[in-house]
Amino acid sequence: MKSSNRRQAILASAAPIFNRYGFSGTSINDILEATELEKGGLYNHFASKEELALASFDYAYKQVDAYFTKALAGTESGLPRLLAYLHAFERYIERPVVTGGCPIANGVVEADDALPFLRERVTQALSRMRTHVVRNLERGREKGHFAAELDAESAADFIIAALEGALLVSRGLRSRLHARRVVGTLRAWIEGLRP
């Protein structure tokens, strides 16, 4: 197997483990067991647990990003794209692309102070998600989907906080029902932004 293919196979096995149990909760032995590698084989591809964790986060985030990109393909920007995003999010709640849920939500909680090497990656991913929402709120405002006075920055912060918070509440209470309720309330709120 080519080195790059083997590296991808390792990430496919390691990303769900890091995503579910976090950096601190994942041991190298967990990774070795999942990948069926010896330590030397693993360290031929990744110099450290930190490097593997970063690559695993990137891998997991790319899976999630690809899911949403595909789900939103061909949807008109503005309000239709935001509603499609919520619909895709509802499907994601039921069937996460990566085991363990949203790597951004998981990463924000774990990387805040304890893992500075991961914090930058998580911040970049969250910023990208937020930029997408801001852009569609602005496009919706330009197209007349939303009132001219809509503050796209504040609305985007509210939307992102609601979605990521919904995942955390549902995970904490061990029920997807809470996330579904938040998405339903958020959908009604976004619809209410029409002029």
Locate the domains of the chain by residue range. 49-191
- pLDDT at residue 2, rounded to an integer: 63
User: What is the Cα–Cα distance from 190 to 79, expressed in whole angstroms?
Assistant: 8
What are the residue ranges in the chain where pLDDT is below 50?
A: 1
- Does the domain at 49-191 match CATH 1.10.3720.10? Answer given as no
- pLDDT at residue 13, rounded to an integer: 95
pTM of the model: 0.89
- Select from 106, 162, 101 the least CA-distant residue to 130: 162
User: What is the Cα–Cα distance from 104 to 128, expressed in whole angstroms?
Assistant: 11
**In which element (H, E) is residue 8 found?**
helix 3-25
Q: Which amino acid, 87?
A: H
